Structure 1
Amino acid sequence: MNRTHLLTLAATLLTTSTLLAAPASDNDKAWQAKVSQGGMYEVEASKLATQKATAQDVKDLAVMEVHDHELVGAELKRLSLAAGLPFPSTLNPEFQQRLAKLKSNPAGPAFDAAYLEDMKQIHDKDEKLFAQESNDGSPAFKPFAAQTDRIVKRHIGALHAV
């Protein structure tokens, strides 16, 4: 998905989500807590990969991850606040530990492999979470989850192509 498509997606999400703003359910709250942390982690891990990865395709993937997840995270934050949910500004201990583990890998092929494996794991979990929310979520989050699920699937494809 190129930049024009992402901007169109962001505009569509903004319009759709504004029209469908509704209170968040307990399931929405649990989902938002998981995916907001995962998204922030993916941004931080990918920023690290732009510096430590040695393979150009891994660096390119990391740049895409930062770009896409910053856009998705900004929209999730906007939707969350509109639905009365707090939005975290820092990683929780689980993801801080995960980031520390990734940082401990030296630059080079070992880092590249660890980053790719970590991104595959988190995207597989994310895809299930976004797919479920796109089916079962409240109107406040359902359209966003459906659009984002397509982005996550695209990322999974890109990860398996590296």
Structure 2
Amino acid sequence: MRNTFRLTSLSLATSLAFALPSFAAETAQDFVTKAAIGGMFEVQSSKVVQDKLQDQALKDFAQKMISDHGAANAKLESIAGEQKLQVPADLDASHNSDLDKLKSASAPVDKPYAVMQKAAHADAVSLFEAYAKDGDNAALKSFASETLPTLKMHRDMIQKAETKAPANESTTPAVSTSGVNNPAAPVPGANSFTEDQAKSAIQKAGYTDVSALKKDDKGIWRGTASKDGKSTPVALDYQGNVVADTQ
């Protein structure tokens, strides 16, 4: 199960890293939109993980993200207002999805957060560098140029911290069951197992021919499998309990 949880952690980290869109801006409004969403996400994601981080360096980094990006966001909003440009009030769907993943993950979330921040700052540096060089609005070009050194500092900090971030071996809030399933299983709850990981866990429980796996609205993976020569419904909950599925 430890290996399963480690794979779950890496899966979450990878999905977070690759869910972030490639940052590039062609117009002043495009730059404001992408910079604002990126900045809001930095603040909100760092607030979400503050109590879920184990490494002190990452805790300090998260606090710095809240402070630095909070200030940059306020400055961007002020400039955008002067330039009659619209600042988005909320995150886009992609960033909201990433934020939800951090909210539902159990502590510690050091590795997923560090990997996500590394990717996010690579994108931010690329966005601000390009606009500082070729942007179409003088005030925003100046803002991008002035903010860029801070973003690069953040990027360097997280690159170092990411290599030391402890992997989360319990991204699902598992309980101690002394080697047996929770008698109340399947237990509803936020389930971070991927379909492949769910299938593997069910197979390790002695089932074969696992098929038709789907996660229901309670976070329980349900499907069919064979055991002792008989086909049966089967379920896997967020704690890793595998049981014959009685719905």
Q: Scaled by the length of structure 1, what TM-score is found?
A: 0.80
2: CA distance between counterparts of 1:48 and 1:153? Answer: 23
Q: Look up the SS of the partner of 2:143 in the other structure.
A: helix
Aligned position for 1:155: 154
Which structure has the higher relative contact order (CA within 8 Å, separation 6+)? 1
Structure 2 CA distance for aligned equivalents of residues 151 and 42 of structure 1: 13
The 5-angstrom pairing of residues 117-128 of structure 1 reads 117-128=115-126
| Counterpart position of 2:95 | 95
TM superposition shift of 1:49: 2.0
CA distance in 2, matches of 1:30, 1:87: 10
Q: What is the RMSD computed on CA atoms of the aligned residues? A: 1.4
> Which is strand-richer, 1 or 2?
2
| Structure 2 residue aligned with 1:56 | 56
* Change in CA separation of 1:125 and 1:26 when aligned onto 2, cut-off 3 Å: closer
Contact in 2 for aligned 1:49/1:58 (Cα 8 Å): no
Report which of the two has the higher share of helix: 1
Q: Does 1:76 align with 2:76?
A: yes
List alignment gaps of at least 5 residues for structure 1. 1-24
What's the CA shift string for 1:90-116, capped at 9, x where partnerless? 2121111110112222111xx110000
Distance 1:26 1:131, change over 3 A: closer
2-structure distance, mates of 1:100, 1:131: 29
Distance in 2 (CA, whole Å) between partners of 1:28 and 1:85 is: 8
Structure number with greater Rg is 2
Question: Is the 8 Å Cα contact of residues 33 and 86 (structure 2) preserved in structure 1?
Answer: no
Deviations 1:6-54 (A, max 9, x none): xxxxxxxxxxxxxxxxxxx961111111111010000001111212111
Q: Which residue of 1 aligns with 2:133?
A: 135
Structure 2: runs of 5+ lacking an equivalent? 1-24, 162-247
Count of residues paired in the alignment: 136
The 3-state SS of whatever aligns with 2:30 is helix
Q: What residue is the counterpart of 1:10 in the other structure?
A: none
What is the aligned partner in structure 1 of residue 104 from structure 2?
A: 104
Contact 1:119/1:159 (CA < 8 Å) preserved in 2? yes
Q: TM-score, normalised by structure 2?
A: 0.53
